Amino acid sequence: MSQQSAIVLVRGDITEQHADVIVNPANTSLLGGGGVDGAIHRAGGPEILAACRALRASHYGKGLKTGQAVATTAGRLTADHVIHTPGPVWSREHDRGGLLASCYRESLRLAAELGAKTVAFPAISTGIYGWPMDDAARIAVHTVRESAHPPVTEVRFVLFDEYAYEEFLSVLAATTI
Ligand code: AR6
């Protein structure tokens, strides 16, 4: 079996990361928003939005489904690509954990297809979409651990604040043998 990717945790701003792929927790319209999505479009410049509009004008006329992933240029960011993936909105009534796991799985599958070695993820769905950080961290780490994605050798979770960092750290510590 292929070697699993190393999981790395950092505290910081994902737009300042040097990685082959930066993952954007987008929405299904693919046309930008607040949070990380807004920050990526601001830092990466108008080329990213232009690429998203082109996707809407071609294969993704109705937008991108929750849990799916699509790649564009990274514009002015140092990454080679931005992968956009709309996470699910947190719900107490419905278990949408499978969709959140799908965001990580599909983004990694696509990153591997693009030949990426390093992939940076934020904590998808834990901001505007309201997912509790401990559960989101568990899903994120377990999904990445589940399978290998050669040639991806490093999956980096970029956590914006200390609380998010600590939650990911405790899941990682519990799953590292
Ligand atoms: N770098 C890393 N993490 C960040 C940054 C940053 N620059 N900024 C915020 N975070 P969110 P979502 C953290 O809201 O919940 C947009 O409008 C933040 O503290 O960006 O998936 C989209 O268009 C939180 O822990 O994503 C969608 O409509 C995490 O990143 C919607 O928001 C994710 O926060 C998606 O909401």
Domain membership of residue 155 (yes or no) is: yes
How many other C-beta atoms can be found within 10 angstroms of the C-beta atom of residue 71?
A: 21
C-beta separation of 139 from 97 below 8 A: yes
Give nearest CA residue, ligand 1 atom 13. 160
State the DSSP code for 15.
Answer: G
Pocket of ligand 1 (CB under 6 A): 13-15, 25-27, 33-37, 39, 87, 122-129, 158, 160, 164
Q: Domain for residue 1, yes or no?
A: no
37 carries an active-site annotation: yes
Kindly give the confidence (pLDDT) of every residue in the chain, 177 residues in length, as a single tens digit, with 9 standing for 90 and above.
567 889 999 999 999 999 999 999 999 999 999 999 999 999 999 999 999 999 999 999 999 999 999 999 999 999 999 999 999 999 999 999 999 999 999 999 999 999 999 999 999 999 999 999 999 999 999 999 998 899 999 999 999 999 999 999 999 999 875
Predicted TM-score (pTM) of this structure = 0.98
In a domain, 108, yes or no: yes
Structure tokens belonging to residue 55: 């996707």
Relative to the CA of 34, which ligand 1 atom is closest? 17
Look at residue 175 in the predicted model and tell me its pLDDT.
Answer: 86
Q: Which domain holds residue 72?
A: 6-175
| Distance (Å) from CA 128 to ligand 1 centroid | 6
Q: Domain tally for the chain? A: 1
The CATH number given to whatever domain includes residue 137 is 3.40.220.10
Helix (H) / strand (E) containing 6: strand 6-11
Write down the pLDDT at residue 56.
97
In a domain, 106, yes or no: yes
